[in-house]
Amino acid sequence: MGNNQDSSIIYLRGLHKCYWVGTMPFPALHGLDLDIAPGEFAVVAGRSGSGKSTLLNIVGALESADSGRVEVLGQDILGMNSEQRTRFRLHNIGFVFQAYNLIRVFTARENVAYVCQLQGKSRKESMEIANHWLHEVEIGHLGYRRPDQLSGGQQQRVAVARALASNPKLILADEPTANLDSMTGRHLIRLMHELNHRFGTTFLISSHDPDVKQAAGRLIKLADGQIVESWEEVPEPPQSLSASCPANHLPLGERVRNYIKTRKQSRARKRRGGNQRRS
Ligand SMILES: Nc1ncnc2c1ncn2[C@@H]1O[C@H](COP(=O)(O)OP(=O)(O)OP(=O)(O)O)[C@@H](O)[C@H]1O
Ligand SMILES: [Mg+2]
């Protein structure tokens, strides 16, 4: 257990990482220090090769570092074995990747539900949670389609729904808009921003995209594996995508229960309507 979970969701000190190809070193991070507070919408920018993905992968416990201190949610990531890392990722972190990384033979709903099933939830409950999040990202009507039957923007929304379905405190998104046209990318970033506001989920996003940088509550600029600039500003509130939602600030369990209740009521109404028509 680390010391910084009260103040920082991410706490990095003196982080070093060098890749080796044979005897050739490829330095990626040089003594990087960073603190991210809970609820931040932080964007890591920097040229290709500056170390953005390496940073996200280490924070996400996907890769190890050579030296330094890495605490995420107060947990010492570098001190974990691979089984502990897997469990930590599954219960605490949602990932959104540039290439969506959806399972091609699963429907959108199954892709989102899968992560809940890995967490030990039943298939039925997982499917209900998946429906809830697909609605939140405004593609609830497309849950039956497989990834190859969806546009890039829709696939990335499935990936965002999947990232949120595990109820993580932190979402790491590596170039989430890089494969999208600029309008679709802007919609996606506005959606992520709105989810950050509504649910308080912390986002750490790597991007070259000027629209993403503009949306940043905090912009962290990397060059040659070091932070060269980091500034904060209060961003413009995003245009609302889903008007007002009375359940905005309820905990996940309650939101899902409300969602299931509404679905049951609407099914019952439909059944009653059908019976009346038949009689
Ligand atoms: N598996 C690897 N083997 C060798 N070198 C690597 C490997 N992964 C990354 N690197 C090197 O580490 C440095 C940082 O790479 P990283 O992928 O973190 O950069 P990035 O900022 O994400 O770049 P991009 O914007 O192109 O995605 C680069 O010099 C890169 O060549
Ligand atoms: Mg990268």
Domains of the chain in sequence order:
39-61+81-243 (3.40.50.300)
Supply the pLDDT for residue 240.
40
Q: Which residues are close to ligand 2, an ion, with C-beta < 5 A?
A: 52-53
Ligand 2 centroid, distance to 53 Cα (angstroms): 4
54 Cβ inside 6 Å of ligand 1: yes
To test ligand 1's pocket by mutation, which of 15, 17, 19 has the most ligand atoms within 8 angstroms of CB?
19
48 Cβ inside 6 Å of ligand 1: yes
92 Cβ inside 6 Å of ligand 1: no
Supply the pLDDT for residue 237.
43
Ligand 2 centroid, distance to 56 Cα (angstroms): 9
21 Cβ inside 6 Å of ligand 1: yes
Ligand 1 centroid, distance to 98 Cα (angstroms): 15
Supply the pLDDT for residue 149.
97
What tokens appear for 173 in the block?
């998104």
Give 237: exposed, middle or buried? Use CB within 10 Å, 0-12, 13-18, 19+.
exposed
Three-class DSSP labels, the chain: CCCCCCCCCEEEEEEEEEEEECCEEEEEEEEEEEEECCCCEEEEECCCCCCHHHHHHHHCCCCCCCEEEEEECCEEHHHCCHHHHHHHHHHHEEEEECCCCCCCCCCHHHHHHHHHHHCCCCHHHHHHHHHHHHHHCCCHHHCCCCHHHCCHHHHHHHHHHHHHHCCCCEEEEECCCCCCCHHHHHHHHHHHHHHHHHHCCEEEEECCCHHHHHHCCEEEEEECCEEEEEEECCCCCCCCCCCCCCCCCCCHHHHHHHHHHHHHHHHHHHHHHHHHHHC
Supply the pLDDT for residue 2.
52
Ligand 1 centroid, distance to 19 Cα (angstroms): 9
Beta strand pairing call for 10-21 and 24-36? antiparallel
Supply the pLDDT for residue 254.
64
Q: At what angle do helices 123-136 and 108-118 cross, to 10 degrees?
A: 130
> Which residues on adjacent β-strands are paired with residue 13?
69
Q: Are 174 and 97 in contact (CB under 8 A)?
A: yes
What tokens appear for 193 in the block?
């921003």
Q: Are 219 and 43 in contact (CB under 8 A)?
A: yes
28 Cβ inside 6 Å of ligand 1: yes
Q: Are 136 and 161 in contact (CB under 8 A)?
A: yes
46 Cβ inside 6 Å of ligand 1: yes
Residue whose CA is at the smallest distance from ligand 1 atom 12: 28
Q: Are 4 and 59 in contact (CB under 8 A)?
A: no
Cβ-based neighbours of 240, under 8 Å, separated by 6 or more:
194
Ligand 2 centroid, distance to 45 Cα (angstroms): 10
Per-residue pLDDT of the chain (279 residues; tens, 9 = 90+): 455 546 899 999 999 999 999 999 999 999 999 999 999 999 999 999 999 999 999 999 999 999 999 999 999 999 999 999 999 999 999 999 999 999 999 999 999 999 999 999 999 999 999 999 999 999 999 999 999 999 999 999 999 999 999 999 999 999 999 988 888 899 999 999 998 999 999 999 999 899 899 999 999 999 999 999 887 754 444 444 433 334 444 555 666 666 667 667 777 776 776 665 554
24 Cβ inside 6 Å of ligand 1: no
Ligand 2 centroid, distance to 51 Cα (angstroms): 7
Supply the pLDDT for residue 37.
96
> Which residues on adjacent β-strands are paired with residue 218?
42, 232
Sheet strands side by side (includes 170-174): 93-97, 170-174, 202-206, 41-45, 218-223, 226-232
Q: Which ligand is located closest to the Cα atom of residue 52? A: 1
Q: What is the pTM of this model?
A: 0.83
